[in-house]
Amino acid sequence: MTALTPVIGIVGAGQLARMTVQAAISLSVPVRVLAARPDDGAALVWPHVEIGSPDSLEALRHFAAGCDILTFDHELVDPEHLRALEGEGRCLRPSAAAQRYAQDKGYQRERFATLGLPVPQHRLVRDAADITSFAAEHGWPVVAKATRGGYDGRGVWLLDGSLAARELAERCADSGVSLLAERFLPIEMELAVLLARRPGGECAVYPVVQTVQADGICHEVIAPAPVDAEVAAEAERLALAVAEATGVTGILAVELFLAEGHLWLNEIATRPHNSGHFSIEGAATSQFQNHLRAVLDWPLGTTTLTAPAVAMANVLGNPAGTDLAATLPAALTVPGVRVHLYGKEPRPGRKIGHVTALGAEVEETRARALRAATILAGKEPA
Amino acid sequence: MTALTPVIGIVGAGQLARMTVQAAISLSVPVRVLAARPDDGAALVWPHVEIGSPDSLEALRHFAAGCDILTFDHELVDPEHLRALEGEGRCLRPSAAAQRYAQDKGYQRERFATLGLPVPQHRLVRDAADITSFAAEHGWPVVAKATRGGYDGRGVWLLDGSLAARELAERCADSGVSLLAERFLPIEMELAVLLARRPGGECAVYPVVQTVQADGICHEVIAPAPVDAEVAAEAERLALAVAEATGVTGILAVELFLAEGHLWLNEIATRPHNSGHFSIEGAATSQFQNHLRAVLDWPLGTTTLTAPAVAMANVLGNPAGTDLAATLPAALTVPGVRVHLYGKEPRPGRKIGHVTALGAEVEETRARALRAATILAGKEPA
């Protein structure tokens, strides 16, 4: 069948690619991976790897020549390169146009606002005076975001006044970073909706989840989110609107704020996403398998939960050091937890794995996932 | 962590090794595979592969030199080679002594009978006269089994009289096959119990399952088996007794007959087994992950089912030909099924994959698994 099923090329070889190739084994889907380094997470566990920089158009071209469809582990490939590949007839799923929504926050905010989607009040700002003028209208604090390249809390700043605005604006001017100012929202809860979308527009939407963040990094995901049916339905409606607006193929993750009594669009990702890792065991079809199915334009898989409560906890490298060879067997003593390690050096604060638990009741389930993640990170004895 | 976690070497690269390396990704366990051919199922999806024949002691020695623990995809390695490797200080899990129970049915029957375990009446036979004499005591038909090398119905014959006995005895004498004669049992149901056992003897037992066979090949597995609690408890007791008797490390599969009102030991496998494939999604810990954990002497994972009913159906190559690139997308339209393909050429009758379904009720769940497996095999349109 490898002769007939299209060859999928994944640009980037981090944990998302690693979990995607793991899913590809079950369906015997031919996958190739472009890895920047031979010790990238996916390159450690997959035989069909090409080493090359995703920043190099030549490397991308060489890789694309051996693939039928290109898909992506991250949103960091230069938009010009993406457009060049499409211009040369390569099939990108998601397309360069869809990825632009995840790559350029200024573009995304303007487009979504035009479409009437609920984005926080925002403005592209060039200097401290712009930020202060924005604050005069919307009040301090102001949220400032790099329009490109930020993730896991990097590229987002909370500015409490004009002094902080000046410091940030100067740093950004020096490093060529463009800024978006946004009104600060008193967030009651953070939610995420994951969906898979086929090229023709058919979507399979996962149940809305709650994400628990600290310092801009996702620590926990709880499925289903503890919100009422109207909020869940509205979250799903917004995710479908974003899918339609972006024309994404594959997995789309839409992060939402619940604030001031309604939902606001926060960030989006046009690829498998941390908020969907629960789906490996917690949904009938994992986001990784559904990404492959969507990208291949195959029928999408059922997205229902496999248990009344599903909890995912990220494992972050411990500042005091994490020795996974010692902590893993200890973490496996926690009943019924599913451990996923990414093959990464456990540097402090780095996402090195996650743990999923399934259960009948949310707090007990969450406690097991957190306990195993804490033991894994080396933050407490077994 | 790869420096500290022992390197597991899997001898053989079929679908069991393929699903074991898939499980190894999640725990970031370092695994190497000895494949007879580069297109073996596991070799297609794993980068750490050595090509060599499991029949060659030199190849086994070379492979073992790069591993800390050897484990096995099948029971076909020459027992002399296994003992030689152990004599040279290699760590085999399961040991040569444990594997002998799966490799030599005559030895297994004698040992289990001595221990008082319920095996069918049997006798090692050298010629047709021995078989006829056995039949005079226990009646026709007689079940004849090759003491070594049989699986999936190969190496098992049902003899209805002395003519058939003579024909078989002559063929076996010509090819050097040793035979075991067994009393024919009027089988009411076939069951299997899977367990994982650590080197120190700690076991985690999976719920007893029903296996549905045709022509000696497993077609379906239903978990839990539709038997009363006493039968289930007795099945578990027998599996634990076999585990203790063999001293197995890793997964043990014990196949049982329910006949004449009680349980009889049929076959055993000292490795992950077809009757345990349901556990990938149908149990809290898959047999493949628990095999790795047992072999590493790590805490074993929870074995409870993840749904009230779990059904697994094997996908066998269709005599009229199977084009998986066409049938796979069609099979994926069946709601909620989990498809596993093994990367094998779909020759007629060959196990090329399996499908698992989870549900609230056994017949509906079984119907979905069977329907997807039938579509996959190319035996009916979607």
Quick: pLDDT tens for B101-143.
Answer: 999 999 999 999 999 999 999 999 999 999 999 999 999 999 9
Gap between the terminal Cα atoms of chain B: 46
| Chosen from B25, B281, B334, B368 to mutate, greatest number of chain A CBs within 10 A | B25
Q: Which chain A residues contact residue B6 at CB under 8 A?
A: none
> With contact defined as beta carbons under 8 Å apart, do A287 and A333 qualify?
no
Partner-chain residue, chosen from B27, B285, B333, that has the shortest CB–CB distance to A299: B333
* Per-residue pLDDT tens digits for B3-39: 489 999 999 999 999 999 999 999 999 999 999 999 9
Instruction: Examine the predicted complex and report whether its ipTM is higher than 0.90.
Output: yes
Instruction: Work out the pLDDT band at B380, boundaries 50, 70, 90.
Output: low
- Domain coordinates in residue numbering, chain B: 8-92, 121-183, 187-376
CB of B26 within 8 Å of any CB in chain A? yes
**Interchain pair B27, A339: CB under 8 A:** yes
CB contact under 8 A, A329 and B299: yes
Nearest CA in chain A to B333: A299
Residues 289-328 on B with a CB inside 8 Å of A are 293, 296, 298-299, 301-302, 304, 306-307, 323-326, 328
Residue A371 scores a pLDDT above 60: yes
pLDDT number for residue A152: 65
Chain-centroid distance, C-alpha A276 = 8
Beta strand B49-51 with B31-35 is parallel
Tell me if A241 sits within 8 A of A201, measured CB to CB: no
pLDDT of A187 over the 90 cut = yes
Q: In Å, how far from its chain's centre is CA A141?
A: 26
- What does the pLDDT look like over A47-97, one tens digit per residue? 999 999 999 999 999 999 999 999 999 999 999 999 999 999 999 999 999
pLDDT confidence of residue A380: 65
Q: What is the pLDDT of residue B57?
A: 98
Say if residues B143 and B156 touch (Cβ distance below 8 Å): yes
Query: Among A8, A82, A74, which Cα is nearest to A46's?
Result: A8
Q: Which of B298, B302, B326 lies at the smallest CB-CB distance from A329?
A: B298
The domain defined by A187-376 folds into D-amino Acid Aminotransferase; Chain A, domain 1 (3.30.470)
Contact by Cβ (8 Å): A229, A210: no
Residues from chain B contacting residue A328 (CB–CB below 8 Å)? 1, 5, 27-28, 298
Give pairs for B361-364: CB < 8 Å, separation 24+. B361/B308, B361/B309, B362/B222, B362/B226, B362/B309, B362/B311, B364/B309
Cβ burial B217-233 (10 Å sphere, 16+ → b, else e): bbbbbbbbbebeeebbe
- Lowest mean per-residue pLDDT among B81-90, B143-152, B336-345: B143-152
- How far is Cα of residue A208 from the mean position of the Cα atoms in its chain? 15
Q: What is the pLDDT of residues A97-136, one digit of tens each?
A: 999 999 999 999 999 999 999 999 999 999 999 999 999 9
Spatial separation of the C-alpha atoms in residues B116 and B109, rounded to whole Å: 11
Which one-letter amino acid corresponds to residue B374? T
Mean pLDDT of A230-250: 98
Cβ contacts of A309 on chain B, cutoff 8 Å: none
Mean pLDDT value across residues B240-245: 98
Residue among A4, A301, A343 whose CB faces B325 most closely: A4
B121-183 is a CATH 3.40.50.2300 domain: no
User: Is residue A151 predicted with pLDDT exceeding 70?
Assistant: no
pLDDT tens, B170-224?
999 888 889 999 999 999 999 999 999 999 999 999 999 999 998 888 899 999 9
Considering the domain B8-92 in this protein, what is its CATH number? 3.40.50.20
Q: Which pLDDT score, from 0 to 100, does residue B214 have?
A: 86
- The answer to whether residue B155 scores a pLDDT higher than 90 is no
Which range has the worst mean pLDDT, A1-15, A272-286, B66-80, B273-287? A1-15
User: Average pLDDT over chain A, rounded to whole?
Assistant: 95
Question: What is this structure's pTM?
Answer: 0.96
pLDDT confidence tier of residue B2, bands split at 50, 70 and 90: very low
Average pLDDT, stretch B132-157?
A: 88
Q: Average per-residue pLDDT in chain B?
A: 95
If you ran DSSP here, which 8-state letter would residue B44 be given?
A: G
Residue A250: CA count within 13 A, CB half-sphere: 25
Q: Hey, is the C-beta of A340 within 8 angstroms of any chain B C-beta?
A: yes
Q: What is the dihedral angle through the alpha carbons of B31, B36, B41, B42, rounded to the nearest 10 degrees?
A: 10
Q: At what angle do helices A105-114 and A96-103 cross, to 10 degrees?
A: 100
DSSP B161-189: SHHHHHHHHHHHHHHT--EEEEE---EEE
pLDDT of residue A2: 41
Spell out which residues of chain A touch residue B17, defining contact as CB-CB under 8 Å. none
The dihedral formed by the CA atoms of B70, B73, B76 and B82, expressed in degrees to the nearest 10: 10
CA distance B2 to B6: 7
* Helical (H) or strand (E) element with A352: strand A351-359
Structure confidence at residue B356 (pLDDT): 98
In chain A, which residues have their Cβ closer than 8 Å to the Cβ of B339?
26-27
d(CA B188, CA B260) in angstroms, rounded, equals 8
* DSSP secondary structure of A65-88: TT-SEEEESSS-S-HHHHHHHHHT
Name every residue whose Cβ is closer than 8 Å to that of residue B257 and which is 6 or more positions away in sequence: B120, B185, B187, B189, B190, B191, B263, B264, B266
Residue owning tokens 């463009």: A178
Q: Is B335 on the interface with A (CB under 8 A)?
A: yes
- Residue B199 makes CB contacts below 8 A (sequence gap 6+) with B93, B249, B297
